[in-house]
Chain A
Amino acid sequence: MNLATYARRNLFRRRFRSIMTVLAVTVATVIFCLIRTLVVVWHAGVDEAATDRLATRHKVSFTMELPKHYIDEIRQVPEVKAATWANWFGAKDPKERVPFFAGFAVDSDSWFDVLDEMQVPPDQLAAWKQTPNGVIIGDLLAKALDVQVGSRLVITSDIYPGDWDFKVVGIYKPLRKTADRNSLVLRWDFLNNDPRAGFAKDKIGWLVSRITDSVHSAEISRKIDTRFDQRDDQTLTTSERAFNLSFLGGFSAVLGAFDYGSLIILLIMTLILANAIAMSVRERTHEYGVMRAIGFPPRHILGFILAESVLVALVGGLIGVGVVVLAINNGIGPVLEENMSGFFPYFRAPLWVLGLALGLSGVLGLIAGAIPAWRMSRLSVTDALRRID
């Protein structure tokens, strides 16, 4: 036996209370990890957006379109290395195997040069340029729709009526983990030549350009916008990151509130833990008095109580982290990635979040135990011995 034996045995002396306390810490840990993961994952797409890319949209709203010839003008800006464009297609799977995926009509000559986080085999890219109704899709989407290169793929659209009969000519793979693996790109010229898209003939949704100097992206953005200042359709050019954020604006605020919520949960957890430890310590007042009489110094009593509190918190934290690894990283995470990769291209609690959660549970255990431990260690031996609760 050593001193830790006693601290360890105390842990489950009141089994029900200990289990409930551990459970409270577990639940708090899981919620904390979930919220943190959500925040991290949400911002990851934005954070990892290429810093050397600008997005140009209509100044009034990103639902309004721009004349096609803007692409030629943007390509004339000296700092623009490459530029491409896209229209939102509003793609839908008529068989509803996939609830949501992004579909764009893009320029087949330049799209993958600019969006270089998606990798397409050269022969497939060449085939696309020969196939007007060809589409290239993400590897996860291909799996979900059960298609291979060469398959026929019928898609409907929120915007354009009827069935759209495509041929899968290529499948792209992500080069960054935040790349959307669930998107579909069709040829803009194919859409533009279809009478069903006649109302938007020769219009483009937005432009994406790669610039020479990411440090001066703000100046380059202004330079682009100035070019169109006097036209009917004025532009708003921002970093791709800001462009992504403008889509997420409202949700980011909600997420911020969530983030505070995670702190409140930790506070409540600490209070629950502190209460449980205070109750146990109170019940054992007499016992601590006996140990003090035998000659154990106050700091040992302090140590017993703090060790117990930290152990309870760590056990709860460890179970919580285990639950997160099993239920999120190997459970709903992959499911979200497959089905909602437009929102969550990557949904796993990062290691640092797990570490932070475990570390915090330990620290909060220490804080929760501090007051009962300090009070008990300060009690005089005779007072403790007279207490028979």
Chain B
Amino acid sequence: MSENQMTEATKTAGAPGEPYRGTTTGTESIVTLSKITKTFFRGSEPIRVLEGLDLDVPNGSFEALMGPSGSGKSTLLNIIAGLDRPTSGAVRVAGADLGPMSDSELARWRSQTIGFVFQSFNLIPVLTAAQNVELPLLLTSLSRADRARHVATAMRIVSLEDRMHHYPRQLSGGQEQRVAIARAIVNDPKIIVADEPTGDLDRKSADDVLTLMERLNKELKKTIFMVTHDPAAAERAGVVRKLDKGALQ
């Protein structure tokens, strides 16, 4: 992929009516969590997963979050991404205070701000690669032609322009995850959250996916927050944080 294609992507992949929101300076925080607690209940027994957690993620950074299984990594990522709400504490992401937002406001905010990459790819099996990538754009007022253009660009960025009309089952695991990444960036989100994106991949495919994420960070200036327990994956990130016993070490 050429430098030109990347530039084109940043130009075209903006939501309608919204100019591309530059993410150039690395000094301001794009994620600010303060005194976050999260308690689940199993029956009447409380499970305290996060206990007074503070976090600052600078705009444009690529961060990896590690920690033992069950330590609350996914819970933390879900709170940042506006999928879940903390039991207490304040969440500020991309200039928005998530606390007072209603569920539907939060859904809308997610569709414009966050790109999701999951461990198990989570493509819709009955839709082609291109249709999977187009899915988030159905929530915008973009025309069919504009949507097609955005999809083509995103597919080009992940180097799968020749797999547009394949169904997920016709793709390898690595290709599926790259389609998922195309789906995550097609809306030009400010932040990409990835929960164990290489967990289900072989080494070679995992490396391809990580290289792609690195380039999304460097060339498209996306802030990336990635949960992983793969040391090779964490190595690619600029910052590695460790979660243990409900707080960041």
Cα–Cα distance between A304 and B83 once the two chains are bound (Å)? 21
What is the interface of chain B, defined by CB distance below 8 A to chain A?
Answer: 78, 81, 83-84, 103-104, 107-108, 110-112, 116, 118, 120, 122, 124-127, 131, 134-136, 138-139, 183
Binds B, one of A144-152, A220-228, A291-299: A291-299
* Contact B134 A294, beta carbon cutoff 8 Å: no
Q: Which of B84, B108, B116, B135 contacts A382 (CB 8 A)?
A: B84
Q: Is the CB of B84 within 8 A of A294?
A: no
A302 to chain B, nearest CB (A): 13
Chain A, residue nearest B121 (CB): A290
Contact residues, A277-320 vs B (CB, 8 A):
286-287, 290-298
Given the complex, which residues of B lie within 8 Å of A294, measured CB to CB?
110-111, 116, 135-136, 139, 183
Smallest beta-carbon distance A324→chain B, Å: 32
Distance of B132 from chain A, by nearest CB (Å): 10
Chain B interface secondary structure, helix, strand, loop or mixed? helix
Q: Which of A2, A13, A286, A293 contacts B126 (CB 8 A)?
A: A13
Least CB distance from B195 to A in Å reads 9
B81, B84, B120, B139: the one contacting A296 at CB < 8 Å is: B139
A6 touches B124 (CB 8 A): yes
Q: A293-B81, A381-B84, A385-B83 are in contact. Are A3 and B126 (CB under 8 A)?
A: no
Interface flags, A348-389, vs B, CB<8A=1, else 0: 000000000000000000000000000000001110010010
Residues of A within 8 A of B116 (CB): 290, 293-294
| Chain A hits for B122, CB < 8 A | 286-287, 290
Contacts of B81 in A (CB 8 A): 293
Closest to B148 in A: A1
Taking the complex as formed, is A231 at the interface, i.e. its CB lies under 8 A from any CB of chain B? no
Shortest A15–chain B CB gap in Å is 12
Chain B residues closer than 8 Å to A382, beta-carbon distance: 78, 83-84
Asked if A230 lies at the interface with its beta carbon under 8 angstroms from chain B, I say no
Q: How far is the CB of B111 from chain A (nearest CB, A)?
A: 3
Other-chain residue from A10, A291, A385, A388 in contact with B135 (beta carbon distance below 8 A):
A291
Bound form: Cα–Cα A13–B124 in Å: 11
Q: Kindly identify which residue among A287, A295, A385 contacts B124, using a CB–CB cutoff of 8 Å.
A: A287
Which of B104, B107, B125 has the most CB atoms of chain A within a 10 A radius of its CB?
B107
Q: Cβ of B108: which chain A residues have Cβ within 8 Å of it?
A: 295, 297
**Chain B nearest Cβ from A381, distance in angstroms:** 5
Interface residues of A in 1-21 (CB under 8 A from B): 1-3, 5-6, 9-10, 13
Residues from chain A with Cβ under 8 Å of B78 in the complex: 382
Q: Determine whether the beta carbon of B136 is less than 8 Å from that of A290.
A: no
CB-based closest 6 A-B pairs: A295-B111, A9-B126, A290-B122, A295-B110, A1-B131, A382-B84
